[in-house]
A and B are shown apart, each in its own frame.
Chain A
């Protein structure tokens, strides 16, 4: 064998971080991979996801594609426990971040959402706050304190690609921006709490092509620091921004969504293993 000792063999492969003693210390230090295993989900008695497993690797953009109603948004919302905010929503399986199951007892739900941020389909800046306060909203809402707030505002707006457009009017209301700017403000707001993972639920579906392009460039820049999971209906967008791709489809028998195929985006769009994937990405279906 190799020169590995017994001691090394006993070392766990994944570094275990004790979230109780060091709950937020490592947040933002480096991106983390997210492992979802055997995720099933229900709304009431109706099953919408069936045994979905997916590894979302660090420093990569993972795109979730598939026709409407196949459960990809639900899957995304399960990844930061937003699914359970809906009445009657149930979930089974595990989602592991840094060796910790986010559905376990160690992490509280607010801590999970601090580490795994989310950007929604419709831009939703807080109307009662200025642009600056919108960026800082996450700190105030989660009760975290942070030293240099001005620097943080500038840094987050820079990363979201909005700084140059709003630097002279940080005190203006968040709703005074255009739709595309609002969405980038929401991205900046998510970044301010230094998440390890950023989930995006069709972030460009309400935007015009130019704003879409700016958001996409933002995403490609962000992935150096955070892991990104993005739901999109736009095949070109999936090809442009994502490294990995997962194709969801409703199972004809159960009526629940499952992952047909996942892998490198380039492979999924050129030579997929499954005929249904090929039909979907070439537009012959759905």
Chain B
């Protein structure tokens, strides 16, 4: 049966056109973050601050560049504060000073990050080539040219891949138990998960090393699993907490059993956060060295079998080669580090793009 509901909402009548077209067409205002006065204040303060620091540097005969920069920064903030207070009021001055400090700290953090990436890039790019990607070190002597990290890439992808495939469902189920089911064991399980989170990674490696003698990639996966499970579980629990209770009530009121509610409403709603949590765990696992070294050891040959024998990984590859006495090996280590960064970057970008695509379908912000 189809019923049409007629709504007698009045439509707005068309307004008759007037000969006077009214005010001219408006353009949206452009708001500038900094006015000219602001720029002047910053410039004066910066000049004054750096001159003070330079003066002190010559007078007191400092040779520490970092210290000088720090003094210049402090002088800059203080002088800027005084100028602004003179021009406006102390409230505005405090507001601007805090803003400046925030920006400075932010820039410092970002620049440290960029510096690290640039450092690895410059050191590693020399050796990074196609042959570095496709060769291993099985037949390459320490002083020979060529050779590469193919065996280490295979190892990293297999070890981290296996660990991720096992971690994600386990941790998600645990998080669902902790936050959706809220069973009787929730308190105990949360305690255990928190304790695991505090576990030093070397202990996880030692545990696997003692329980299963012999080296294998899967052993490394097991150690990584132990390390990642608390990260993903607690992260996923926090993400589930952000799902509004209204959605749970709506699902239940539609006659949903709890497991269908979780599968069809809760997890899809939390999808974005869950992907982020998983990515952070992957990034953590890719970089782990100590437990992998203990459980999969080192090798120079490509080993596709994660269940038997030594298997290299990028982190142990770097760890091994950077300590070698000759430059060729050290260069390879830097190239390996760069490769590690690139792989993490590719995983992150790929996951973000996939997520954005699935969200764009729904026209979300």
Contacts and interface: CB of A to CB of B under 8 A. Distances in A.
Given A126-B247, A159-B3, A218-B5, A141 B364 contact: no
Category for how many chain B residues contact A: 20 to 34
Contact of A158 (B5, B247, B271): B5
B215 to A, nearest CB: 44
Nearest to A171: B361
B4 interface: yes
Interface stretch (B11-19, B154-162, B255-263, B275-283): B255-263
Contacts of B3: 158-159, 221, 224
Given A128-B265, A186-B250, A141 B7 contact: no
B253 interface: yes
A172 interface: yes
Contact of B5 (A111, A138, A143, A217): A217
Nearest to A151: B2
A266 to B, nearest CB: 24
Contact of B249 (A82, A114, A129, A210): A82
Contacts of A85: 248-249, 252
Contacts of B252: 82, 85, 113
A161 B7 contact: yes
B362 interface: yes
A149 interface: no
A124 B251 CA distance: 10
Contacts of B22: none
A35 interface: no
B251 A141 contact: yes
A141 B254 contact: yes
Nearest to B4: A158
Contacts of A138: 254-256
Interface string A245-258: 00000000000000
- Pairs of residues from A and B, 8 with the lowest C-beta to C-beta distance, nearest first: A173-B362, A141-B256, A114-B255, A128-B268, A124-B246, A118-B253, A138-B254, A142-B255
Given A82-B253, A124-B250, A126-B247, 9 more contacts: A110-B255, A127-B364, A128-B271, A137-B251, A138-B255, A138-B256, A141-B256, A161-B7, A214-B9
